[in-house]
Amino acid sequence: MLALTAKTYAGSIVSSETAENDVSHEVETLLAEVAALANRLKQASWFGDSKGQLLAGAANVLQILARSGSQTVPQIARARATSRQNIQVVVNRLVTVGYVEAVQNPAHKRSMLIELTALGRTKVAATEEQEIKIMDSLGIHLSAGEVRAASQLLHRLRGLLCEERRTPSEKKQNAGSRSRIRSIPAEPEEYELPVNLL
């Protein structure tokens, strides 16, 4: 009886380890697909520019400025959940191609406001038009439920990754807090993605 119990217990451990390995493999496959999709989006026409290839994150920065008006670099960084340094690189390139400009900030002398130029507004309009066409073309192949489920899964994975990067003291401070389960914590700047992946 003891031998049978031990064998059953050992079998359950092996099964558990196999299941964990299967899940790890599936997660690895999923993240590889996410990376491939991100690269494909970077190659999409709305990131292209006659003056040189813009960073993928540049389009998002332009859209933030179009929606919210003039912003400082730290404000844009918070909206993008990334670091000021990364956003500054993107902004510098956008200034170079003439899509944005830095203007005086009445509220803060040392933190300039970044705002769209006329050329930048034209770029945003063209970007949004192209995005609508692409989303419409993708939409005919997908159901709302599929898209929602994929979005929720990616949202959850991002939250888990953010939680893993928290220090033990941060995790202790947030222990028992239900709010952190519902929201995605901002990622620390030292863990930011390379700027070419923004």
User: What's the confidence (pLDDT) of residue 109?
Assistant: 78
Per-residue pLDDT tens over the stretch 130-181:
778 888 888 899 999 999 999 999 999 988 988 887 766 666 665 555 444 4
Q: How many CB atoms lie within 10 A of CB 59?
A: 25
User: What's the confidence (pLDDT) of residue 198?
Assistant: 45
Residue with tokens 């929201």: 183
Round to whole Å and give the CA distance between 56 and 176: 38
User: What's the confidence (pLDDT) of residue 101?
Assistant: 96
pTM for the model stands at 0.56
User: What's the confidence (pLDDT) of residue 11?
Assistant: 57
Round to whole Å and give the CA distance between 51 and 193: 25
Round to whole Å and give the CA distance between 175 and 165: 15
Cβ atoms of 196 and 90 closer than 8 Å? no
As beta bridge partners, residue 150 has none
Round to whole Å and give the CA distance between 88 and 78: 12
Cβ atoms of 94 and 53 closer than 8 Å? no
- DSSP assignment letter at 183: S
Report the half-sphere exposure of 179 (CA within 13 A, side-chain side): 3
Q: What are φ and ψ of residue 101, in 5° steps?
A: -145, 155
